Amino acid sequence: MKILHTSDWHVGKVLKGHTRVEEHINVLRDLVEIAQKERPDLVIVAGDLYDTAAPTPDSTRIVTRALTALRATGAEVVAIGGNHDNGPALDALRPWADAAGIKLRGTVRETAAEHVLTGTTAGGETWRLVALPFLSQRYAVRAVEMYELTASEAQQTYADHIGRLIAKLTEDFADRSAVNILTGHLTVVGAKMGGGERDAHTVLGYAVPASVFPSTAHYVALGHLHRTQQILGPCPIRYSGSPLAVDFGEEENTPSVTIVEVTATRPARPRTVPISSATPLRTVRGTLPDLERFAERNTDAAGWLRVYVREMPRAGLREEVQDLLPNALDVRIDPDMLPTRTSPTAAQRAGRSPSTLFADYLKVRGHDDEGVQDLFDEIYEEIPGGAS
């Protein structure tokens, strides 16, 4: 059978105040075209369909249309909730999803059978899929209790709970006459971060060892980390990565989806298919003359820029940079240009005027611009009682 594995769409993502609606439409159109060309038997969306738990109507429209278009290719479609998604809200869409022939799982349900999906391909290959949405630490404990598994709640780690839950859900994987697949939204120990994930749900107590996955699984389709990568473990484990770089920390990632060919008797063979319409992100550093030369050499360059300016801070500098580079969404002073002096202590501030304190602040920040000081003084004088 053939599987298309994707995750971490993050529809609704805003980058430095700039909407990415059109980018997501183009990227998901590419994804559907890949599905039309590859003709997978099964499409797995491994969480984080949305960037926020309260998606806009536009975001909901984009996601539901993409899922519908993927189903229209003839593939079975399974999507799970991620840590950015509102699991209960996804579950509320299940009547629509069921009518559309889409399997949507937003939260862990009390019945294990809710998360074990089965099917048969047009070629007669039987498959079994465990769909495990993202679980916070609190709900991981609840999920373990729902299935009446043992061990003291207070003494168990998040990884213990996830491991026991997966063991329960994959009990039928002992039968290897079907293709056994698991999809989850998890961080695996040793995996590389993509650069734009939510740290609170990827580090500390949220990482699980690869050993939580059974050796009887033919393929584990993961979401959560935005970098495409294979994980060493007891079975084939893979992150598909995000089809669109969600922040500048991901500019080196290659937006893509994963195509997997596998049978009950043959190991999974994954390959990466790039998403060609993904808007690139770049970081540029230099003085204003450097940036001017960059703009002259890259007149037709597409993508969004993060710019570190090697100039001392001054009023209007951001606007000057954006005049040169209109696609610069994030403009910052290069940290090397900032002084290392510390601000005055409370004792040093006592008895000094706001104007003098603000002047000290500008010096500490390396902001040598008399116009800014004059503007502060003018505004302060307009405050009732400010000059008294």
The pLDDT tens digits of the residues spanning 77-95 come to: 999 999 999 999 999 999 9
pLDDT in tens, 362-380: 776 666 666 777 777 778 7
Averaging pLDDT over each range in 44-48, 112-116, 192-196, 338-342, which range is the top one? 44-48
Interval 199-220 mean pLDDT: 81
At 217-249, the pLDDT tens digits run 999 999 999 999 999 999 999 999 999 998 998
Average pLDDT of 238-264?
93
pLDDT class for 152, splitting at 50, 70, 90? very low
Q: Where are the domains of the chain?
A: 2-274, 280-338, 342-388
Q: What is the dihedral of CA 187, 197, 103, 31, to 10 degrees?
A: -120
Banded pLDDT at 302 (limits 50, 70, 90): confident
User: Which residue in 226, 197, 246, 258 sits closest to 24, CA to CA?
Assistant: 246
The residue-averaged pLDDT of 114-134 equals: 96
Whether the per-residue pLDDT at 301 is higher than 60: the answer is: yes
The reported pLDDT for the residue numbered 347 is 47
pLDDT at 155: 43
Which has more confidence, 156 or 24? 24
In sequence order, the β-bridge partners of residue 286 are 309
9-26 per-position pLDDT tens digit: 999 999 999 999 999 999
Q: What is the 3-state secondary structure (H, E, C) of the chain?
A: CEEEEECCCCECCEECCEECHHHHHHHHHHHHHHHHHHCCCEEEECCCCECCCCCCHHHHHHHHHHHHHHHHCCCEEEEECCCCCCHHHHHHCHHHHHHHCEEEECCCCCCHHHHEEEEECCCCCEEEEEEECCCCHHHHHHHHHHCCCCCCHHHCCHHHHHHHHHHHHCHHHHCCCCEEEEEEECEECCCCCCCCCCHHHCCHHHEECHHHCCCCCCEEEEECCCCCEEECCCCCEEECCCCCCCCHHHCCCCCEEEEEEEECCEEEEEEEEECCCCCCEEEEEECHHHHHHHHHHCCCCCCEEEEEECCCCCCCHHHHHHHHCCCEEEEEECHHHCCCCCCCCHHHHCCCCHHHHHHHHHHHCCCCCHHHHHHHHHHHHHCCCCCC
Supply the pLDDT for residue 54.
Answer: 95
- Structure confidence at residue 139 (pLDDT): 65
| Both structure tokens of 43 | 């499409």
Mean pLDDT (the chain, rounded): 87
Query: Rounded to whole angstroms, what are the CA distances from 26 to 15, 38, 199?
Result: 16, 18, 28
Q: In this prediction, what percent of the chain has a pLDDT beyond 70?
A: 85
pLDDT of residue 291: 93
Query: What pLDDT is recorded for position 331?
Result: 93
> Which token pair is 90?
């996804």
145 has pLDDT over 80: no
CA atoms of 359 and 353, how far apart (whole Å): 10
pLDDT at residue 300, as a whole number:
75
CA–CA separation, 325 and 267 (whole Å):
49
Report the pLDDT averaged over residues 279-296.
Answer: 92
pLDDT one-digit tens code per residue, 306-362:
999 998 888 889 999 999 999 999 999 988 776 655 555 554 666 677 777 777 777
Confidence of residue 143 (pLDDT cuts 50, 70, 90): low
| Lowest mean per-residue pLDDT among 101-105, 144-148, 195-199 | 144-148
On whether the CB atoms of residues 277 and 243 are closer than 8 A, the answer is no
Comparing 387 with 282, the larger pLDDT belongs to 282
Q: For residues 333 and 313, is the Cβ–Cβ distance under 8 A?
A: yes
Residue 336's pLDDT is: 79
Query: Could you report the per-residue pLDDT of 162-171, keeping only the tens digit for each?
Result: 998 999 999 9
27 by Cβ neighbours in 10 Å (0-12 / 13-18 / 19+) ranks as: buried
Alpha-carbon distance 15 to 131, whole Å?
Answer: 30
Q: Would you state the pLDDT for residue 278?
A: 87
Distance (Å, whole) CA 89 – CA 346: 49
pLDDT category, 153, cuts 50, 70, 90? very low
Contact 138, 189 (CB under 8 A): no
Flag whether pLDDT at 204 surpasses 60. Answer: no
Across the range 150-161, mean pLDDT stands at 62
Q: Nearest-5° angle of CA 37, CA 39, CA 45?
A: 100
Polymer length in residues for the chain: 388
Q: How many CB atoms lie within 10 A of CB 252?
A: 11
For 2-274, give the CATH class: alpha beta
- The larger pLDDT score, comparing residue 157 to residue 316, is at 316
User: How many whole angstroms separate alpha carbon 144 and alpha carbon 163?
Assistant: 10
Q: Is the backbone of residue 224 left (phi > 0), alpha (psi -120 to 50) or beta? A: left
- Residue 38, phi-psi category: left (phi > 0), alpha (psi -120 to 50), beta (remainder): alpha
Quote the percentage of the chain above a pLDDT of 90.
64
Give pairs for 372-377: CB < 8 Å, separation 24+. Answer: 372/314, 372/315, 375/315
